[in-house]
Chains A and B, each alone.
Chain A
């Protein structure tokens, strides 16, 4: 059965391998350029030059990195649509299942081998691409930060493997149920896209209970690019604070004074010194303010990678289980 599966998938695996090889060449050269830039301008830099170099790195490589990222995000979808959906649907459509299911092999075994061989190839391709990309842009990631950003998280390290497996089995099962290749491809695309939108926006942050810490407003906080917003009820919110490498779950948080009461417009008036920013900041710091910071800490990055990988592999297994039940009814 492995032979037949290999024979049927040969052409598509070859095309995918060629595409992956081309991507590898691109990613290795991109990685080389980023590294050279980093070594020349960022390693050991100081002060303003450092700030400028970081800015130039982003400006210079944003497009190249984005293209690779979007491609990697698309790969599981492509595997689901072009490998998964036709896997069984095409056999049913061309009625060849009546030939192969009458050889001395049970339908379940047939399905198991097909899912395993093609699915593992898909997972391997996705994993290899992710490995290359993660290596290639590691210096860029180091400078830019934000490893929990939706697109960045989904296109690095382990999770692309889970997405590929899930998309592939999803496509296969949808094809099995719909029995027609084209509708199965369309439905697979829609369902997979919906899952890929839903997970980063509504699911991922709840996978591990968030941590809330009390952060004191000091000079470092004020210099990290945050803003203070006066609300209609005369209280202040602190907006845009992100602790190094962590995943901030609330964009703004109410500011409180040392006694726990809200920081109001009245309280802020003495520190309104538009002609001397530094003095104004020092004044705010002296007021001993704090706020609650709800986030996922930076050291949970790998926890999230593993959880999400397991979640998608688990979903793939559940779907495959459904497929094994369903194939008896065909």
Chain B
């Protein structure tokens, strides 16, 4: 497995605020990575660190084997679209493509021109007068036409309406396939990334709660429903991530390599919510006591 992004005890502090706390990750190459967490979880900070826009307070990060933004060569390998898709309001769409062509050695002009045409972006229009969705498309086109090996997208669909979100993500899948790049995209909504990502990282409060390939995550997490008075036998090494009791019945999300008895499969939302809830509230002692 080739690692695209490796972080070791990565920490970023803004004054007294701890934006990212001791984050250790290894993300394989060739994945579409969904980075999910509530607002303020540290997603933008982590993506900023990947692109080299933000310098770590401590710990280290390597992207494609090198320090982010270590030089022009490293910059050319990573395409980054920051939150709100910044573009130059006074430059036209066509001028943005010239900008990309002038500043990137592997610029794919045919791709850029085709994509702006397909997305209905008028080349003569000033970027400042584009809609949020069109601006996101323009910024993404510039980042993609660089022909880097990794695309980092910070909340790419936040400014889009639900219909445009679906179209944007479907389109993203298409050209990721065409360009053969790894992608990291963040969202505070799991639903946005769920449809496209095959690797998931869940952040909460600046800490990594969960990270792994989606298939693996779905394989090791199980849902168990326990009715009142029932006995529960969990396999050795199993961990209850989250338990919810309603009407005497508890529903648990359990992490276990071995499948527990009477368990049901989970979906990504169950798992993500379980970890996010655990991150914000302590697991009720009564439930853990009853299980162990």
Contact = CB atoms under 8 A, between A and B. Distances in A.
Asked if A and B bind, the verdict is: yes
B84 interface: yes
B84 to A, nearest CB: 7
A329 B55 contact: yes
A3 B96 CA distance: 11
B281 to A, nearest CB: 35
A3 B75 contact: no
A7 interface: yes
A99 B84 contact: no
Given A3-B102, A104-B105, A99 B142 contact: yes
Interface stretch (A18-26, A58-66, A90-98, A180-188): A90-98
Contacts of B78: 102
B72 interface: yes
A95 B69 contact: no
Contacts of B75: 102-106
B53 A103 contact: no
Contacts of A96: 86-88
Contact of A102 (B71, B79, B90, B91): B79
B99 interface: yes
Contact of B104 (A94, A104, A107): A104
Residue of B76, B78, B88, B143 most packed against chain A (CB within 10 A): B88
A103 B82 contact: no
Interface string A81-120: 0000000000000111011111111110100000000000
Contact of B98 (A3, A99, A328): A3
A181 to B, nearest CB: 14
Given A7-B95, A95-B82, A96-B88, A102 B100 contact: no
Contacts of B86: 94-96, 98-99
Contacts of B55: 328-329
Given A94-B86, A98-B82, A103 B104 contact: yes
Interface size range of chain A in the complex:
20 to 34
Nearest to A328: B55
Given A105-B72, A106-B71, A106-B75, A99 B88 contact: yes
B212 to A, nearest CB: 28
Nearest to B143: A102
Contacts of B95: 7
A221 interface: no
A98 B71 CA distance: 16
B72 A102 contact: no
Interface in B79-115: 79-80, 82, 84, 86-91, 95, 98-100, 102-105
A101 B55 CA distance: 14
A8 B89 CA distance: 11
A1 interface: yes
A104 B53 contact: no
A4 interface: yes
Nearest to A106: B72
Contacts of A1: 102-103
A13 to B, nearest CB: 14
B146 interface: yes
A103 B146 contact: yes
B182 interface: no
A14 to B, nearest CB: 14
A328 B53 CA distance: 9
Contacts of A105: 72, 75, 103
Contacts of B82: 95, 98-99, 102
Contacts of A101: 53, 69
Interface in B54-81: 55, 69, 71-73, 75-76, 78-80
A298 to B, nearest CB: 51
A95 B84 contact: yes
Contacts of A99: 82, 86-88, 139, 142
B51 interface: yes
B53 A7 contact: no
Contacts of B142: 99, 103
Residue of A3, A99, A102, A105 most packed against chain B (CB within 10 A): A102
A4 B99 contact: yes
Given A99-B87, A102-B143, 20 more contacts: A3-B98, A8-B90, A94-B86, A94-B89, A95-B84, A96-B86, A98-B53, A98-B82, A99-B82, A99-B88, A99-B139, A100-B103, A101-B53, A102-B53, A103-B75, A103-B100, A103-B146, A104-B146, A105-B72, A105-B75
17 contacts: A3-B102, A4-B102, A96-B88, A98-B53, A98-B82, A99-B86, A99-B139, A99-B142, A101-B69, A102-B78, A102-B80, A102-B143, A104-B72, A104-B73, A104-B146, A106-B75, A328-B55
Interface of A: 1, 3-4, 7-8, 94-96, 98-107, 109, 328-329
Interface of B: 51, 53, 55, 69, 71-73, 75-76, 78-80, 82, 84, 86-91, 95, 98-100, 102-105, 139, 142-143, 146
List the 5 shortest-distance A-B pairs measured between CB atoms, nearest first: A104-B76, A103-B103, A98-B82, A102-B80, A104-B104
